[in-house]
Amino acid sequence: MSEVIVRFPPSPTGYLHIGGARTAIFNWLFARKHKGKFILRIEDTDAERSTKESIQGIIDGLTWLGIDWDEGPYFQSEFAQEHKEVAHKLLQEGKAYRCFCTREELESKRKQALKEKRDIKYDGTCRNLSPEEIASKEAQGLPYVVRFKVPERQGKIGYDDKVLGRIEKDYSEIEDFVIMRSNGKPLYLLCNVVDDIRDRITHIIRGQDHMSNTIRQILLYEALGATPPVFAHMPLTLDLQKRKISKRTHGEVVSVQWYREMGFIPWALVNFLVLLGWNPGTDQEIFSRDELIQAFSLERINKSNSIFNYRKGDPKFFTDPKAININAHYLRTMPIEEIAQMIKEDFIKEGLWNEAYEGDKKQWFLSTLDLIRSRFHTLKDFARQGRAYFADDFEIEPKALKKNVLKRPELKELLPELSLSLEKVEPWNLETTEDAVRKFAEERALKAGIIINGMRAILTGQLKGPGIFDVMVAIGKERVIKRLKNTPELFESAEKKDS
Ligand code: GLU
């Protein structure tokens, strides 16, 4: 195979959608696999709907995901002159023609055809106008569009879609389609082909929603004397009700930026999106960058639509549970130094950052992150559920407070008492803290579990978490003692609230 060149050509009219990101990822994987080129081309011909923010959002989103491009970004609008020239060239070569039919005429013909149950495609009224007729209409200043002259051929035109197999259409079913509007602006369908030819694109990997264009585009390639690229049309992503996922219906959950804000690890999102539309043929779900590049092939892109399993309104399932699980997997297994880098910004924002975490407290910081991550799902959980490890101003989860503290009134006195025995513990480590707590429970014929659960709530604010002695060591002697001493106040303020 000659060099593979693929492209991602988003229209910058909104945020980077996860469906768009998936298209970019598939193209990127294919380019990387074949040591080819991945081009970013911004299709900003629609000047009214394209925005600078959207372009920036696309670039930031791809960069965050780690999807790097080899050329571009190119901007389609910069080639407007070339698009026009190509339309005129097709006119001059007799491969396209001026159509003077008015909107009203076309509409009434369409209605008539519908009524008579005939084909509604354009009837070719202007296809064979004589040069004199054309000249006279032009002289009258009548507006016209330019239509492509579909070759008069018998049989079918088709292509071998890498995902869907052979796709064909009868020539007789293809109407002479418009390639330039009456305002002189070429249509997207044509610009896209002109750009792909200039960029020497070898493979077009895009959503099935573009399939309605493909046959017509193949005709344009032929008319322009170029070989059409290989096409691979990917399945769409639908929700549980089989609707296309969109911001309007589903909200932020469809935008890449949102995953960033929710504390996703970029590669985890890539991994999830790839599985949403492609399968390795095995049960493997977690792929490193190299593994994915190695395993990826167009042939294994799914033919049928993917289901984005999202239940709006359920905070536990703030996105597809599979995405959450994949993210949790990376969060719990990645080198802890990388996690530390990724949460730094959030820690600064939440007032939890300490310069020493990169200095003499680095070891403590990393081992604490490592200790608490095993139950976490997103990077945000470190500052949220893990706050008690890094600051004193944290809240105790109401459920933990009620169940493990307030329902055990004996703790009001026991825990401050325990804190007195703990003051004598030296050195402060896993064994010594465990000994002290167990001995304390034994002496009073108490179940250690009651003390431990109460301590967990008071020390970490959480119902569940790492082993209590690990917690005690991570939080440190001074803080543990202070928090346990404070137990009576928790009871008192709960009583106040109740009265
Ligand atoms: N600009 C088109 C879009 O954003 C891309 C079409 C294509 O891939 O050919 O959907």
11 within ligand 1 shell (Cβ under 6 A): yes
CA torsion through residues 319, 325, 329, 332, sign: positive
Mean of pLDDT values over 56-67: 98
Q: How confident is the model at residue 498 (pLDDT cuts 50, 70, 90)?
A: confident
| 344 catalytically annotated | no
Q: What is the mean pLDDT of the chain?
A: 96
Whole-number Å distance between alpha carbons of 322 and 329: 10
Instruction: Decide: 105 and 126 in contact? Cβ < 8 Å.
Output: no
CA of 192 to the centre of ligand 1 (A): 8
From CA 157, how far away is CA 167, in angstroms rounded? 8
What's the whole-number mean pLDDT along residues 427-438?
98
Answer whether 213's CB lies under 8 Å from 189's CB: yes
- Return the higher-pLDDT residue of 312 and 387: 387
Which of 206, 230, 237 for mutating ligand 1's site (highest number of atoms within 8 Å of CB)? 206
CB under 8 A, 24+ apart: contacts of 153-158? 157/215, 157/218, 157/219, 158/215
Q: Which tokens hold the place of 482?
A: 């202070």
Confidence tier at 83 by pLDDT (50, 70, 90):
very high
Question: What pLDDT was estimated at residue 119?
Answer: 83
Round to whole Å and give the CA distance between 72 and 84.
22
Between the CA of 11 and the centroid of ligand 1 the distance, in Å, is 7
pTM for the complete prediction?
0.94
Residue 386 has pLDDT above 70, yes or no: yes
Q: Is the pLDDT of residue 90 over 80?
A: yes
Please determine, for residue 231, whether its predicted confidence score (pLDDT) is greater than 90.
yes
pLDDT at 16: 96
pLDDT band at 1 (very low <50, low <70, confident <90, very high): low
Q: Which of 121, 156, 169, 247 is catalytic?
A: 247
pLDDT of residue 159: 98
Q: Find out whether the beta carbon of 210 lies less than 6 Å from any atom of ligand 1.
A: yes
pLDDT of residue 2: 81
C-alpha 9 – ligand 1 centre gap (Å) = 5
* 237 pLDDT above the threshold of 80: yes
Q: Which residues are CB-neighbours of 448 under 8 A, at least 6 positions away?
A: 437, 438, 441
CA 197 to ligand 1 center in whole angstroms: 15
**Enclosing H/E stretch for 39:** strand 37-42
Q: What is the mean pLDDT of residues 400-427?
A: 97
Per-residue confidence (pLDDT) for residue 248, from 0 to 100 = 87
174-198: pLDDT as tens digits: 999 999 999 999 999 999 999 999 9
Whether the CB of 214 sits within 6 Å of ligand 1: no
Do 477 and 419 meet the contact criterion of CB atoms below 8 Å apart?
A: no
Please say if the pLDDT value at position 135 is more than 70.
yes
49 and 253 in contact (C-beta within 8 Å)?
no
From the CA of 10, give the closest atom in ligand 1.
4
